[in-house]
Structure 1
Amino acid sequence: MLRPTSRKILVAFSISATMISATYAAVNDVVRYAVANSSVPVAAAVEVPASASIVYLSGKLPPIQDSSQPLDSPLAYGGDTKGQTVAVLRAIELALSNIGLGLGDVVKMQVFLVGDPALDNRMDLKGFADGYAQFFGTDVQPNLPARTTLQVAGLANRGMRVEIDVVAVRRNE
């Protein structure tokens, strides 16, 4: 049986531990680790606190940009890889906005690129990077996701060159 003084100490300790835990949860945030010796705007790793919710956004394809073009032509979807990347990232930005999130909340990105016939059917990584750099690693949006970029044989439509899916974090307060 605890003496009255011991109970007071235990209650005080319990309250202090709860306050410390709550303070830690409030200041604990997503940690983005930089890629060493690199200027590539990608995180080497991203650490998400247990207090956050993970949101998986389904893959986005480029929406039609020019309906006067045949639907199986890359020109219908923004043309080259850069144009399609910008269109896809705008679609992702809108989808995230619709659920109360933004591109700064993205912690993981998977990019699927179809080979470009103009590049001997190799993926246009430069075109992708140029489009990507308009949305990530900027002064307005400096948060960088961890990222995987793959070349694939094809997507849902032969005119599409880019598909991107993302994982975002919702900070629970």
Structure 2
Amino acid sequence: MKFNISYFKLFISFVSFIVFTNSLYAQEIVMKGNPASIISSTAQIPSNAEYFYTSGFTALAIKPELKDGEYEKYGDTKTQAISVLERLKSALEAEGYSFKDVFSMHVFVAPDTKSGEFDFKGWNEAYKQYFGTEETPNKPIRATVGVATLVNPHKFIEIEVIAAKSPR
């Protein structure tokens, strides 16, 4: 059997193409889930991605002149969630990340002291202003848990995020 260099070059080109294509695909962050859901079910992050982690952020006072314990100092769950999301957005941007890079969230919701109820609706309304939008179409995987209280009992939500970027 005679060795044909043309077939060998074609074979090497084909193998190179497959390896290159697979390595490109493996570099992407892949989020999957029900398109109708406000969150993703799974996230696949390449092993060489760059990560950014935050601790749990809580709301800043919207009326700092008020005493702790006055409801209006921090507001309701939705108001606090917007405050937290804005703080997270700033922290991400300071490190070169954005909400588009967030793939995971852990959210702790405590009962609103006025109603005694968990305001998951208010939290989700705030969330939908930042994720699953035209500006930020991604929807992170997310765990939202009801807790008895946070360290400050006048704060009703604490959020931590993990962001990742595919290598360039």
Name the TM tier (shorter chain). Answer: 0.7 to 0.9
CA contact (8 A) 2:38 2:132 kept: yes
- Determine if the alignment matches structure 1 residue 105 to structure 2 residue 104: no
> Is the alpha carbon distance of 1:25 and 1:71 closer, same or farther for their aligned partners in structure 2, counting shifts above 3 Å?
farther
Alignment of 1:150 with 2:135, yes or no, is no
Extract structure 1 runs of 4+ deviating beyond 3 A: 15-28
TM-score between both structures, scaled by the size of structure 2 = 0.84
Residue of 36, 42, 45 corresponding to 2:42: 45
Equivalent residue letter for 1:94: S
1:71 correspondence with 2:68: yes
Q: Where does residue 157 of structure 2 map in the other structure?
A: 162
- Are the aligned partners of 2:113 and 2:154 in contact in 1 as well (CA < 8 Å)? no
Between Structure 1 and Structure 2, the one with more strand by share is 1
Q: 2: distance between equivalents of 1:171 and 1:73?
A: 44
Say if 2:85 is the partner of 1:86. no
Name the structure 1 match of 2:129: 134
| 1:30–1:48 Cα contact (<8 Å) kept | yes
Letter in 2 for 1:107: F
- C-alpha distance in 1, partners of 2:16/2:73? 57
Secondary structure at the aligned position of 1:107 is classed as: strand
For the aligned residue pairs, the C-alpha RMSD in angstroms reads: 2.4
Q: Which runs of 5 or more residues in structure 2 are unaligned?
A: none
Contact 1:30 1:47 survives alignment (8 Å): yes
> Once the 2 structures are TM-superposed, how far is the Cα of residue 156 of structure 1 from its aligned partner?
2.2
Residues 58-115 of structure 1, C-alpha deviation per residue, up to 9 Å, x if partnerless? 11111122112213334222x0000000000000000000110000111110100111
Determine helix, strand or coil for the equivalent of 2:93: helix
Letter in 1 for 2:120: L
Contact 2:52–2:162 (8 Å) recurs in 1: yes
Does the Cα contact within 8 Å between 1:64 and 1:76 map onto a contact in 2? yes
For normalisation by structure 1, the TM-score amounts to: 0.81
Q: Residue 32 of structure 1 corresponds to which residue in structure 2? A: 31
Amino-acid identity (%): 29
Displacement after TM superposition at 1:49 (Å): 1.5
